[in-house]
Amino acid sequence: MVDKIDIAIVGRGLIGGITALALSKTGATIALIDKIKTEKLDSIGFDPRTSTVSKTSKRMLDVLGLWKDLDAFSNPILDIKVEEGGPKNSIIFSSDLVPGEPMSYVVENDKLREIIFKKIRKKTNTILFDNFELKTISHSPQGIELFPKKDVKISTNLLVGADGRNSAVRRLAGFKSKCRQYHQKAIVLIVKHSISQRNTARQLFFPPGPLAILPLKDNRSSIVWTMDIPTADKYLKLPPRNFIKELESRVGKSLGSISLSGEILSYQLDLQFAKNIVSPGISLVGDAARIIHPIAGQGLNLGLRDVAVLAEVVVDALRLGLDPGDLYSLRKYERWRSLDTAAMVASTDGINKLFSNKIPTLAFSRKFGLKLIDSSNLIKRFFMRQAIGELGTLPRLLRGEEL
């Protein structure tokens, strides 16, 4: 059996799904492929992970018709409070500095996934292939050929690798990727608490590692606690009640009484990025292209910006009758994304180094740094524009326009 398909996307996560939705507007036939079986995909069980959605990313989700369903499950962030040591030494990034909508929103990955796939199932030009493990990718004069199963062959003009951290597309297509371990683990959980956080996100910097508290609906917060691996393992061995006690002792009385909602998840942190993210007929998006430190909560935003640019480049090519897999347009995507990626890798890497360190001079410079940033609205605005995703030339979807 041979299927001739215009665009094949591998990976049915958030980014793969959104890529399919963005490109489906072109009228092209799309295959969305994953090795996991369908019933597992719609809900992967309880997922405590959350993402921050920047102002520009929100516009994109709005254009793609996702935000109206997501709105009820998202919480705006109006202020970001960064604390070092204790609440006395803190700076506040207030949304008053950059007028307009809230600077970002916190959304639950679970809910976003549900909404994306409900929408995809209604698209007639998108075919879902489940239980397909990619074994080989080969180039032919016709385009790219995938052999997900013995008797099945998919022939496509453009293959998009949205298959995350251990991307099979990246490996099989021979993209070289650099990887560095942070020797850190992120502990992720959702808590209920008695005192409302309203719309303030907090970033606390103290030993054993930075702690982010992101506000969710109904007096809940998403906690991302980063620490070195041995310490994390020690904490993870604690019974949940004791773990929460430890957490309470760190955040003080600001949340009131805390209880765990759901389970605790943890994963090791590393920095990964592929030098090239395109080759003839193939491109990488999202975590398959690069993984950054979750410290600034920018992973999903970076992935969405990939999708916005790739979709624009592909749509423009299709509208001129050009082959979307042609290296010329894919290079444009690669160039357009390179600066943003480099800036984000460097800044998250740098912030993490600065704040998960016990060296006295660094401790001084971050205190000094916080003071300096706090005293200058100009620098604050720059950081906030970056968080909002407004630096650089914006593709149409991020400007809130149709493709």
Tell the residue number behind the tokens 């200058």, with chain if given: 376
The answer to whether the beta carbons of residues 97 and 379 sit under 8 Å apart is no
CB of 79 to other proteins, least distance (A): 38
> Residue 269 or 330: which CB sits closer to other proteins?
330
Strands (E), 307-390: none
Does 166 sit near other proteins (CB under 8 A)? Answer: no
Q: DSSP string of 79-144? A: EEEEEESEEEEEEEEEGGGS-SS-SEEEEEHHHHHHHHHHHHTT-TTEEEE-S-----EEEETTEE
Find the part of the chain contacting other proteins (CB under 8 A) among 291-299, 324-332, 353-361, 371-379: 324-332
Options 55-63, 146-154, 189-197, 313-321: segment touching other proteins (CB under 8 A): 313-321
Residues 313, 171: Cα–Cα separation, whole Å: 24
Q: Is residue 319 close enough to count as binding other proteins by CB under 8 A? A: yes
> Is residue 322 a contact residue for other proteins (CB under 8 A)?
yes
Q: Rounded to whole angstroms, how far apart are CA atoms 311 and 297?
A: 23
**CA atoms of 22 and 122, how far apart (whole Å):** 14
Tokens of 80: 């970001």
Residue 226 or residue 329: which is nearer to other proteins going by CB? 329
Q: Contacting other proteins (CB under 8 A), which of 45, 100, 321, 360?
A: 321
Cα separation, 355 vs 366, whole angstroms = 7
- Helix 299-319 with 327-355: angle, nearest 10 deg: 170
Among the listed ranges 187-195, 284-292, 315-323, 344-352, the one in contact with other proteins (CB under 8 A) is: 315-323
Q: Which residues contact 374 (CB under 8 A, 6 or more apart)?
A: 91, 92, 380
Each as own residue / partner, the long-range contacts of residues 132-137 (CB below 8 Å, 24 or more positions apart, any chain) are 132/33, 132/34, 132/35, 133/35, 133/168, 134/10, 134/33, 134/35, 134/163, 134/168, 134/169, 134/172, 136/172, 137/169, 137/172, 137/173, 137/282
Q: Which residues contact 7 (CB under 8 A, 6 or more apart)?
A: 23, 28, 29, 30, 31, 156, 157, 158, 159, 160, 314, 324
Q: Which residues pair with 316 in a beta bridge?
A: none
- By CB under 8 A, which span of 123-131, 329-337, 351-359, 379-387 interacts with other proteins? 329-337
Candidates 79-87, 95-103, 241-249, 323-331: pick the segment binding other proteins (CB under 8 A): 323-331
Any contact of residue 326 with other proteins (CB under 8 A)?
yes
Minimum distance, C-beta of residue 140 to other proteins, in the bound complex (Å): 8
Q: Does 121 bind other proteins (CB under 8 A)?
A: no
Q: Which residue reads 């592909």 in tokens?
A: 314
The number of residues that bind other proteins (CB under 8 A) is: 16
Q: How far is the CB of 56 from other proteins (least distance, A)?
A: 22
Residue 103, strand partner residues: none
Looking only at residues 7 through 46 of this chain, which bind other proteins when binding is defined by CB under 8 A? 27
Binding flag, residue 79, other proteins (CB under 8 A): no
- Is residue 141 involved in binding other proteins (CB under 8 A)? yes
Nearest distance in Å: CB 41, other proteins: 30
| Binding region for other proteins (CB under 8 A) out of 64-72, 314-322, 350-358, 380-388 | 314-322
Residue selected from 267, 328, 364, 368 as contacting other proteins according to rule CB under 8 A:
328
317 binds other proteins (CB under 8 A): yes
Query: Quick one: 265 or 327, whose CB is closer to other proteins?
Result: 327
Taking the least distance from each CB to other proteins, the nearer of 169 and 330 is 330
339 binds other proteins (CB under 8 A): no
For residue 142, state whether it binds other proteins (rule: CB under 8 A). Answer: yes
Q: Is residue 3 within the footprint of other proteins (CB under 8 A)?
A: no
What the block records as the tokens of 263 is: 């389970």
Which amino acid, residue 121?
Answer: R
Q: Summarize as ranges the residues that interact with other proteins (CB under 8 A).
A: 27, 141-142, 316-317, 319-323, 326-329, 332, 335
